[in-house]
Amino acid sequence: MRVVLLSPAYPAEMINFARGLAEVGASVYGVGDTPREQLPQRVKPYLHDYLTVPRILDEVDVMDRVSGWLRGGSVDRVLTNWEPLVMLAARLRERWGLPGMSVDTVRAFRDKQLMKERVQAAGLRVPRSRRVHTAKDVRETAEEIGYPLILKPIAGAGCADTYKVTSAAELDRVLPMLGGLSQASCEEYIEGEELTYDTLCIDGKPVMENVSQYLPKPLEARTVEWISPIAISVRDLAQPRLAGGLALGRATLDALGMGDGFTHMEWYLTPKGEAVFGEIACRPGGAGLVDQMNYTCDADLFREWARVSCWGHFEADATRKYNVGIVFKRAQGWGQITRIDGLVDWLRACGPWVVEEKLLRPGTPRRDWKQTQTSDGHVIVRHPDWDEALRMCQAAATGIKMYAQ
């Protein structure tokens, strides 16, 4: 099994996907714009060969270079789990006649307006929305949809360049911030809780399902600096409040023609109990979500994704044992991390339920919280009881303080 893996070392979690492929017997041919000599040592043992390209996001150039590099050899799969490259992977598969989702199918997982149109055509509840190209389009759509509304890129990820707009005056302030976009999605704001529906699929049918809840909603967390964002995977998926979201997620996979691999969907649970589609991607969620799912089931889903992608089998025990919470911390101030308060007490109080503590250490430069979901590090806890997992997460959010100067 010869697999072309696009961007095997970036983002960092891609290294584990390369590992998974090697562990299930694939020869991994990596392609990326990180120079070979600068590849992390962790990924090198998993790569059979590696091609450096000038710009991994230059699709036409990459397709030509990879085709030339592999000319005369055979390839069985082209894979990636980084959102900006899913279309490139689909185009390479079509060029070489390989198994996997087509360009048309993948486009509906990447283009937020097209995905909502196809999901709505299947009779599922989606926010009212419209594709917009100009300020005039946005204002006309705002008149139709009403406030509050959401403005976001057609092909974005992780709430980047996404804005909640509550009035015409606020819209005037936000529009200049979208100047670099040729098109955007203008959609109805849905009031309610925001959750995920994550799957690993074989031929569009989930062999593993996950639901995680965001606290608070990601857009709020990305706009208020002092917040410590929390996401908690739900151990008990059989509870009635989740039934609508699970049904919505499964129907969405059918509507979009999902094939093999991970999906990451976000959906809303309104105060009236209605499940409303948000968006979906044909790759796993970032910011430690695969690790979170691994801790939920005591499984290795990096390896199971590889087994599914290469051989069409899933062998892990996906029994959900824990609610798993990840808490991202943001330092106060700018510059280098100077101290961390409350961590020792929190670790002592939570004891064996802590499974990861990866906060930036003093002397490390603070990260730009607006440019990264992972902030200045994280802690992960797990517990069979939801309330206890939530309590420990909230204790980390409020009790651990990081400072920089």
205 φ/ψ sector (left φ>0, alpha ψ -120 to 50, else beta): beta
Predicted TM-score of the model (pTM): 0.93
CB 72 within 8 A of CB 96: no
- 168-171 long-range CB contacts below 8 Å, 24 or more apart? 168/139, 168/142, 171/138, 171/139, 171/142
Q: Identify the segments of the chain with pLDDT beneath 70.
A: 156-160, 179-180
191-321: CATH architecture: 2-Layer Sandwich (3.30)
Contact 106, 93 (CB under 8 A): no
Q: How far apart are CA 396 and CA 392, in angstroms?
A: 6
Query: Which amino acid is it at 235?
Result: R
Determine the pLDDT at residue 318.
94
Task: Report the pLDDT value the prediction gives residue 177, as an integer from 0 to 100.
Answer: 81
Residue labelled with tokens 């996404």: 162
The per-residue pLDDT for 108 is: 97
Q: Tell me which H or E stretch contains 5.
A: strand 2-6
2-100 in CATH: which number? Answer: 3.40.50.20
Return the CA Rg of the chain: 21
At 335 the pLDDT is 95
State which fold the 128-188 domain adopts: Dna Ligase; domain 1 (3.30.1490)
Q: Where are the domains of the chain?
A: 2-100, 128-188, 191-321, 323-405
